[in-house]
Amino acid sequence: MADMRKAFLADIIENIDDDAPRLVFADWLDDNGDPARAEFIRLQCKEAAAECWPTPWLAGERGASTPREAALIAEHGAEWMKEAPKWATERTPKRGIFQRGFVARVSSTGRNWQKGVAALYRRVPIEGLQLRALNDALLTALSARPEFGYLRLLGLWTRGCTPAALAQFFGSADLHRVVTLEYTLPSRGIEQLNALLASDRLGGVRSLVLSGGLFGVERFTSLAASGLAPRLRSLAIDATRLSGAAAMAFSRSRNFSELEELSMQARNLEDEGVIALAGSPYLGKLRRLHLGSSTFLDERVVQALTTSPYLTRLTDLHLDYLGARPETIGRIAESESMIHLRRLRVNKDAKCHRILKRLAERRRERGIE
């Protein structure tokens, strides 16, 4: 029986995009005394088929989407996680660690990945990797590993790497399958970002997460001018400081017009930049918007969001500011520009859910869906 399981797993890994080997394995599990795992594989495969491409919202942070999936993970998840070695899972966020029935996301140091990746892929079909504790020598050695070709999500913590080593990695590693890329930048400078943007091996990337340091006009300008920008459907920026001038430059670029999800978080997200974003005609496809700052929510920001003619497609809005009041939440939720809003979160305030529920009831009474 152990040999059969190994054969099934080898087929699943070799055909990692195809659900058929997983579903065949599920049938075999049903016939060999493991109906819970069989059900879990089928359930997650069905859910994954409905997702066009993974994003920070859909893949990186997706938890159990049904009560049954949550119950199966609660009962069996700890046992199923043992299929991967501890070094690969001990620092991996547990939310979203399972994809299509298996442990699929891991977090590893560069050294552990170098030593253990071949054995890891004999045990689990990993599709998401966060690599940390990297240096130039490790990054260069790892760039030749064929296992990168299995990944759909790749996170790189590269503050210890030079632009030359990063350019070599992005120019030679097999990244054709990567859809979501998470990239940590140094506090200042643009060379590390340009090493990423110059790569011709990231044609499949649709979701980009950039974090670290000051995000100013120079970084936004470089990103906007790249071939990657027009392909993006999701962009998340988590910076120490995000200047108003940088956000204004972003709002004026046509190259981000395909974005459906945007997250901008900084200790100081300047109000002028948020106002410019709300007034950008190039962000009319946004469905999810997350703005966060360690400052008070200014009345001008609320006014810009509630009167914007370009944010009418928003279904999810998250405002992580200081000092938001219930009446402010109500104004945002009830504005005509937020007609499709289904989820509103302001500083984790539970009142948001109740306000949206009442608003949905009033809209149904008026015949608005």
pLDDT digits (tens, 9 = 90+) for 29-40: 999 999 999 999
Tell me what pLDDT residue 213 has.
81
Tell me what pLDDT residue 359 has.
64
> Can you tell me the distance from the alpha carbon of 272 to that of 217, in angstroms, rounded to the nearest whole number?
14
- pTM of the entire structure? 0.89
Q: Which residues contact 162 (CB under 8 A, 6 or more apart)?
A: 136
Tell me what pLDDT residue 345 has.
78
Q: What are phi and psi of 350, to 5 degrees?
A: -65, -20
Out of 3-7, 23-27, 76-80, 268-272, the most confident range is 23-27
**Domains in the chain with CATH codes:** 51-365 (3.80.10)
Least confident of 71-80, 160-169, 248-257, 356-365: 356-365
For residue 53, is pLDDT > 60? no
Question: pLDDT confidence of 58, banded at 50, 70, 90?
Answer: very low
For residue 295, is pLDDT > 60? yes
Q: Of 208 and 364, which is predicted with more confidence? A: 208
Count how many Cα atoms sit within 13 Å of the Cα of residue 96 in the half-sphere of its side chain.
Answer: 19
User: How much is the average pLDDT of 198-205?
Assistant: 94
Across all residues in the chain, what is the average pLDDT? Answer: 87
Tell me what pLDDT residue 349 has.
56
Q: What dihedral angle (degrees, nearest 10) is formed by the CA atoms of 168, 170, 175, 180?
A: 150
For residue 323, is pLDDT > 70? no
Q: Which residues contact 251 (CB under 8 A, 6 or more apart)?
A: 273, 276, 277, 279, 280, 282, 283
E strands, the chain, where?
A: 98-99, 102-103, 105-109, 128-132, 153-157, 180-184, 207-211, 214-215, 234-242, 261-269, 288-296, 316-322, 343-346
Question: pLDDT confidence of 337, banded at 50, 70, 90?
Answer: confident
> Can you tell me the distance from the alpha carbon of 301 to that of 332, in angstroms, rounded to the nearest whole number?
11
